[in-house]
């Protein structure tokens, strides 16, 4: 082999290669490298199939099932989700898919990230760590090293700089705290346009959709450079129609803002998943309201959307919009029919308390996922049933078999003529015992059963809010108040039942005073009065707004004949007079004082001093 230098050097170097022994080398497989350990690894020809998707929201009917169907159709092992919009953090399993999600801590349904993991590699998942509503990561066990997947949802381009800097500071902190020997990949929606600048070519590659990087793109490139990462999503040569990951609502603007980052030394692990044909998994039988009708409507909508993406003409867009509206109507209709069927079942089982309250609880309570994953002593996640049983066994053996005390530790107490003095239980202890009572059990000598607490809770949380809906704006009369209080007493009498008279050995109707003592809460009239005054405080403090003008302005028009109707402001005036003589409308500007007045309105315990 001869190597010649550049012109003008006058240099020629000859190299003679050393003879080497010929050895047989096994032809490498065309499939991607697999890092999962032996006995737990995936099929060698399949590898690890990873995807990322900004789903906009899971906080609407049918969204979770739709995402699972889409994930199964692409046969993905792990799917990173952004904008889950579920509060708090946790996990939920549905069928063969488990979702680990991380949301906000304030209960608001915004942002949120998560990982959707297939059952066949769930046992390889060592841990799932929620960081905040924009960052979470999971750890997958491997043969030589662990794979750590970090899911991110970056602030949009129009957000303030301090918000963006806070996000990347938190992401950098997460990266610095992870083990250095693990394979780390960052996926998600970064809202970043990566350009084709030559200065960034070693990091971003030559095949990005955009020409120039925006502010988020520049921040992402700088972050990748500082962490020795490569943005592999812009390295693959593809057609532009296969590069964009976001389309504007009008279908005219296309951007590539979702990216995958990986360590430079492991960049070849990422393979292009579009090289092989993706099959469709057979759909499982539905058991909830999302039935075949909903599935067919969603599939038809998705087909039309694909046509719009391929041919964004006006006619195709109109067909898609029409089908989208029809699909939403079908989904809402099927859910209403399902809820109506549940209400009919409640009506049929109204004399069966156990079934009735079980059905009503399903309607009243929000969905709570059943967790089938446990953390062992080492802090790793275990999913197999035998491992979970053994973990519970070890825990209770340690808890219950804590050793017996020695005889010397037991205090010898002799009782000769009196019994030991036992203190009377406190009110808090009694409340704890009552809350822990099980339903469908025989009551004690006091006649108090556990169902009373559940029935009162059902009335306060379900029935009374329906009866008093929009009560803040009611102009109720004395006759209306009488009807409302009669209704509530009738409900309470059905809950508490009659009173047993031991002298006459008969059941008697409970008086109104007895009902109020048992209820121990403000009645429905006090509840309405409190809501009405609370709303009045908001409207009276809204100076300069339309809502207050409607309240205080007078219409210059002749009043019709007859007695004037009761006005809402008249009811407010009457409520304030019942609370105290010196209470005026201007008191609403003093919020602390007005809160005290609202408390007085609940009990009407005299003037507020």
Q: Which residues of 228-267 are buried (b: 16+ CB within 10 A; e: fewer)?
A: ebbbbbbbeeeeeeebbbeeeeeeeebbbbbbbbbbeebe
The packing angle between helices 353-364 and 451-458, to 10°, is 40
Give the C-alpha separation, 154 to 131, whole Å. 14
Q: What percent of the chain has pLDDT over 70?
A: 80
CATH number for 200: 3.60.10.10
Residue 280 pLDDT greater than 70, yes or no: no
Q: 94 and 151: one domain?
A: yes
Mean pLDDT score across all residues of the chain: 80
In a domain, 454, yes or no: no
- Phi-psi category of residue 497: left, alpha or beta, with phi > 0 → left and psi -120 to 50 → alpha: left
In a domain, 284, yes or no: no
The DSSP code for 181 is T
Domain boundary among 314, 331, 364: 364
> What average pLDDT does this structure show over 468-485?
88
Give the C-alpha separation, 78 to 122, whole Å. 10
Of residues 313 and 3, the one with the higher pLDDT is 313
In a domain, 609, yes or no: no
Residue 284 pLDDT greater than 60, yes or no: no
> What average pLDDT does this structure show over 82-108?
92
- pLDDT for position 26: 47
Give the C-alpha separation, 310 to 84, whole Å. 27
Lowest mean pLDDT, pick from 256-265, 446-455, 594-603: 446-455
Q: Which domain holds residue 476?
A: 468-555+564-603
> 536: closest CA among 444, 601, 464?
601
> For residue 485, how far is the Cα from the chain centroid?
39
In a domain, 539, yes or no: yes
Q: 135 and 262: one domain?
A: yes
Q: 80 and 130: one domain?
A: yes
- pLDDT category of residue 167 using cuts at 50, 70 and 90: very high
Give per-residue pLDDT as tens, 168-182. 989 999 999 999 888
Q: How far is CA 559 from CA 562, 563, 567, in A?
A: 9, 10, 14
Q: 163 and 215: one domain?
A: yes
- pLDDT for position 156: 93
Domain boundary among 272, 305, 336: 272
Give per-residue pLDDT as tens, 299-310. 999 999 888 888
> What average pLDDT does this structure show over 454-477?
87
- pLDDT for position 355: 82
Show the CA angle centred on residue 112, arms to residues 106 and 114, nearest 5°: 130
Give per-residue pLDDT as tens, 375-407. 888 888 888 888 888 888 888 888 887 665 555
Only one residue has tokens 């297939």, namely 118
């Amino acid at each position: 082999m001869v190597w010649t230098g550049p012109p003008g050097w006058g240099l020629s170097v000859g190299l003679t290669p050393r003879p080497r022994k010929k050895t047989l080398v096994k032809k490498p497989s065309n499939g991607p490298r697999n890092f999962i350990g032996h006995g737990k690894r995936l099929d060698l020809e399949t590898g690890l199939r990873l995807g990322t998707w900004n789903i906009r929201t899971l906080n609407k009917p049918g969204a979770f099932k739709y995402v699972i169907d889409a994930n199964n159709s692409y046969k993905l092992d792990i799917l990173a989700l952004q904008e889950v919009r579920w509060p708090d953090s946790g996990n939920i399993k549905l069928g063969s898919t488990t979702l680990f999600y991380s949301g906000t801590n304030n209960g608001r349904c915004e942002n949120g990230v998560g990982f959707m993991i297939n059952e066949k590699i769930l046992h390889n998942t060592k841990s799932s760590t929620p960081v905040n509503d924009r960052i979470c990561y999971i750890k997958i066990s491997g043969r030589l090293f662990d794979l750590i997947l970090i899911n991110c949802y970056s602030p949009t381009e129009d957000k303030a700089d301090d918000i963006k800097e806070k996000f990347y500071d938190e992401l950098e902190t997460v990266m610095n705290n992870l083990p250095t020997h693990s394979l780390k990949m960052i996926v998600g929606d970064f809202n970043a346009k990566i350009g084709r600048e030559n200065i960034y070519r070693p990091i971003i590659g030559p095949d990005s959709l955009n020409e120039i990087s925006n502010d988020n793109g520049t921040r992402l490139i700088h972050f990748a450079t500082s962490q020795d990462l490569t943005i592999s999503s812009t390295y693959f040569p593809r057609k532009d129609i296969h590069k964009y990951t976001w389309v504007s609502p009008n279908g005219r603007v296309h951007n590539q803002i979702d990216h995958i980052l990986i360590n430079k030394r492991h960049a070849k692990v990422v393979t292009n998943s579009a090289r092989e044909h993706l099959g469709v998994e057979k759909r499982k039988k539905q058991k909830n309201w999302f039935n075949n009708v909903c599935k067919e409507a969603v599939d038809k909508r998705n087909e039309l959307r694909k046509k719009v993406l391929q041919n964004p003409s006006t006619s195709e867009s109109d067909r898609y919009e029409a089908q989208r509206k029809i699909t939403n109507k079908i989904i809402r209709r099927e859910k209403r029919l399902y809820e109506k069927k549940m209400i009919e079942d409640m009506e049929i089982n109204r004399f069966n308390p156990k079934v009735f309250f079980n059905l009503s609880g399903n309607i009243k309570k929000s969905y709570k996922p059943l967790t089938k994953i446990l953390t062992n002593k080492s802090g790793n996640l275990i999913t197999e049933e035998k491992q979970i049983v053994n973990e519970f066994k070890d825990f209770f053996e340690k808890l219950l078999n804590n050793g017996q005390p020695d005889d010397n530790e037991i205090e010898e107490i002799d009782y000769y003529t009196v019994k030991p003095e036992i203190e009377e239980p406190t009110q808090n202890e009694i409340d704890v015992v009552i809350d822990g009572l099980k339903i469908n059990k025989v009551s004690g000598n006091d006649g108090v059963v556990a169902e009373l607490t559940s029935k009162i809770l059902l009335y306060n949380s379900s029935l009374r809010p329906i009866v008093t809906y929009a009560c803040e704006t009611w102009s109720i009369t004395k006759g209306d108040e009488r009807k409302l209080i009669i209704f509530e007493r009738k409900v309470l009498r059905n809950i508490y039942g009659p009173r047993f008279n031991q002298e006459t050995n008969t059941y008697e109707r409970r008086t109104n005073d007895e009902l109020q003592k048992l209820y121990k809460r403000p009645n429905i009239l006090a509840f309405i009065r409190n809501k009405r005054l609370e709303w009045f405080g908001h409207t009276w403090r809204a100076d300069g707004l339309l809502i207050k003008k409607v309240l205080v302005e007078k219409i210059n028009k002749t009043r019709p004949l007859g007695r004037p109707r009761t006005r809402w402001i008249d009811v407010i005036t009457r409520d304030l007079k019942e609370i105290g003589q010196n209470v005026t409308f201007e008191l609403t500007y003093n919020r602390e004082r007005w809160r005290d007045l609202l408390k007085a309105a609940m009990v009407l315990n005299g003037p507020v001093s």
